[in-house]
């Protein structure tokens, strides 16, 4: 009998497909439509942090350098109030095998796939993670298929995504290039079902546990260099895995008072699934189009429960403009001799703003950088923006308008960023939870889970949820 391959039929088999492609039965952890045993799910990956570090060492991942940006710190101090201007460090994740922190994420999935006897791995991604999966698969002797949204309906590919697809192919992956739209998840399920390969999803416990070593390394390196814990760690935020894994690693290392600061490029007004908007954004990840929806409802992903739950760990959420990031990217090359991709410099941009408000003896760590080149280079991105009819000019970044104008600052003092309202995000999470499961049916366990997921007390959650029903 031929299996029904319609969209509705395939998506209805999601749990069955996920269990076969991951070896995880999410039903074992789920308590209700909104709550599940998160910590048990994470523990039952079966790996200690020491084991994860060893697995990563085998495939050229981890132990990346921590650099102090002394010249940037000095410039920030010149425009800061007296006594302000924290020391800025960066964790150079471009040193990983595939050129980004996502090698950590892919490393445990590849090890798990090999251990369980899968012949290959599949991932749906805009590219950096795909390159990481392809690199790890190559080292483990596994086949690799990457599903990538590349084109708009006119067949035009965003240069950063095209470059990332090239890198996936360089590592030996088969890249299936799709146009923007809802079919990406459908084709992921179809590919997993037809190949029987391992699902190297961004949002599995394996992927998030792999990033925990980034947090533990930051803790040990800062303590060795500065004799203290980092006062703040700034983390580029998209789907939430980067922040979740790093924060968990920092907490495991005892960094209880380190501020966890999320940062995204502000792309307000651009819809991520819009054919028109697809090529009108110069950042394909690390922006609000992913950062806000995934923070306010993590379980909108390709697995039944998402292991990346950023609001559990987030203390602040900074937004920066495209022009500010491009300015900082160019500044790094000129004063620090470091050429890195703009997406990875999102958190550097936020660090400049934060450092101006922090004392000179405080330490702020930019949690990652990524490789650059070809379409990922900021000049390629700006040239493409102009081609798409977007105005690019110098001026006050407050005049930035996503999809219409990219305003590059004329000096460092114009790099301001702005704070996102965390309370508003937490209330949005509660609204989404209420849509998934009516508040009138919430149990004490549901309230406890939601409270943990938004980093608030149960009383606050009860009051907020009840006000929604009025």
Does the pLDDT of residue 273 top 80, yes or no? Answer: no
* Residue 324, Ramachandran bin (φ over 0: left; ψ between -120 and 50: alpha; else beta): alpha
Q: pTM (2 decimals)? A: 0.95
Whole-number pLDDT of residue 1: 56
Mean pLDDT of 2-24: 86
Q: Which residues contact 385 (CB under 8 A, 6 or more apart)?
A: 282, 392, 406
Tally Cβ neighbours within 10 Å of residue 359.
13
pLDDT tens, position by position, 126-184? 778 999 999 999 999 999 999 998 888 888 988 988 999 999 999 999 999 988 877 88
pLDDT of 218 higher than 90: yes
What angle in degrees, to the nearest 10, is found between the helix axes of 444-454 and 458-468? Answer: 100
| pLDDT 10s digits, 175-194 | 999 888 778 888 999 999 99
Beta bridge partners of 144: 121
Mean pLDDT confidence for 228-251? 97
Decide: 51 and 228 in contact? Cβ < 8 Å.
Answer: no
Burial of residue 386 (number of CB atoms within 10 Å: 0-12, 13-18, 19+)? exposed
What pLDDT, in 10s, does the model give residues 319-336? 999 999 999 999 999 999
Contact criterion met (CB below 8 Å) for 298 and 34:
no
Q: In the structure, what pLDDT confidence band is assigned to residue 272 with cuts at 50, 70 and 90?
A: confident
Domain annotation for the chain: domains and CATH numbers: 55-98+206-419 (3.40.50.1100)
- Residue 307 and residue 203 in contact, taking contact as beta carbons nearer than 8 Å: yes
């Amino acid at each position: 009998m031929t299996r029904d391959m319609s969209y509705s039929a395939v998506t209805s088999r999601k749990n069955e497909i996920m269990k076969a492609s991951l070896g995880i039965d999410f039903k074992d952890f789920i308590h209700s439509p909104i709550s599940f045993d998160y910590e048990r799910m994470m523990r039952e990956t079966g790996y200690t942090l020491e084991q994860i570090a060893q697995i990563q060492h085998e495939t050229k991942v981890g132990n990346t350098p921590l650099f102090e940006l002394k010249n940037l710190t000095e410039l920030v101090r010149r425009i800061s109030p007296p006594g302000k201007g924290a020391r800025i460090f960066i964790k150079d994740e471009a040193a990983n095998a595939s050129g980004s922190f996502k090698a950590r994420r892919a490393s445990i999935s590849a090890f798990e796939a090999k251990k369980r006897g899968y012949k290959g791995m599949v991932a749906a991604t805009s590219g950096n993670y795909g390159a990481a999966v392809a690199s790890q698969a190559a080292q483990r002797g596994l086949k690799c298929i990457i599903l990538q949204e590349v084109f708009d309906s006119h067949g035009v590919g965003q240069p950063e995504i095209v470059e990332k697809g090239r890198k996936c192919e360089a590592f030996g992956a088969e890249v299936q290039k799709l146009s923007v739209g809802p079919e990406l998840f459908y084709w992921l399920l179809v590919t997993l079902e037809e190949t029987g390969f391992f699902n190297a999803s961004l949002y599995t416990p394996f992927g998030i546990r792999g990033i925990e070593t980034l947090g533990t390394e930051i803790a040990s390196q800062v303590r060795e260099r500065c004799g203290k814990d980092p006062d703040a760690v700034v983390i580029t935020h998209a789907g939430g895995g980067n922040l979740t894994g790093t924060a968990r690693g920092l907490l495991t290392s005892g960094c209880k008072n380190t501020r966890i600061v999320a940062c995204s490029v502000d792309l307000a007004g651009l819809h991520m699934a819009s054919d028109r908007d697809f090529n009108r954004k110069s950042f394909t990840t690390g922006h609000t189009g992913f950062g806000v929806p995934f923070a306010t409802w993590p379980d909108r992903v390709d697995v039944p429960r998402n292991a990346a739950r950023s609001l559990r760990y987030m203390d602040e959420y900074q937004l920066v403009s495209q022009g500010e990031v491009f300015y900082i990217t160019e500044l790094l090359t000129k004063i620090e001799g470091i050429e890195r991709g703009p997406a990875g410099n999102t958190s550097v941009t936020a660090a400049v703003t934060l450092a101006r408000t922090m004392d000179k003896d405080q330490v702020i760590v930019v949690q990652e950088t990524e490789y650059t080149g070809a379409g990922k280079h900021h000049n390629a991105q700006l040239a493409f923006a102009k081609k798409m009819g977007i105005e690019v000019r110098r001026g006050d970044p407050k005049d930035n308008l996503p999809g219409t104008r990219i305003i590059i600052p004329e000096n460092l003092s114009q790099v301001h960023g702005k704070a996102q309202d965390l309370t508003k995000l937490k209330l949005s999470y509660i609204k989404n939870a209420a849509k998934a499961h009516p508040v009138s049916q919430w149990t004490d366990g549901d309230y406890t889970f939601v409270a943990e997921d938004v980093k608030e007390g149960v009383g606050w959650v009860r009051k907020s949820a009840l006000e929604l029903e009025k």
